[in-house]
Amino acid sequence: MSTPQTHQLNVKGMSCQHCVKAVTQAVQAQDPQATLDVDLPQGRVTVHTVLPAAAVAQAIKEEGYEVAGT
């Protein structure tokens, strides 16, 4: 089992709680134990997960959001 990590990503295109739910579900589909803290005004997502940052970013991108930086 991998050690949990914390990733901070800037995500463009999130504007409401539906967006938060979509991003959360996308990441948790890959790691059901992942926890997310979403700051809508700043467009920042902090993810605590065993997934690498690239996998988290890819899951969010597949929901139609732009991801930049870690």
Bridging pattern class, strands 5-12 and 35-39: unpaired
Q: Note the pLDDT tens digit of each residue in 2-60.
A: 899 999 999 999 999 999 999 999 999 999 999 999 999 999 999 999 999 999 999 99
**Is the pLDDT assigned to residue 1 strictly greater than 60?**
no
Distance separating alpha carbons of residues 48 and 35, to the nearest angstrom = 5
Split into its structural domains, the chain has a count of 1
Q: Do the beta carbons of residue 70 and residue 7 sit within 8 Å? A: yes
Q: Do the beta carbons of residue 48 and residue 6 sit within 8 Å? A: yes
The secondary structure element, H or E, covering residue 20 is helix 17-30
State the pLDDT confidence band at 70, using cuts at 50, 70 and 90: low
Range of the domain at 52: 5-68
State the pLDDT confidence band at 69, using cuts at 50, 70 and 90: low
**Is the pLDDT assigned to residue 67 strictly greater than 60?**
yes
- Which CATH number does the domain housing residue 43 bear? 3.30.70.100
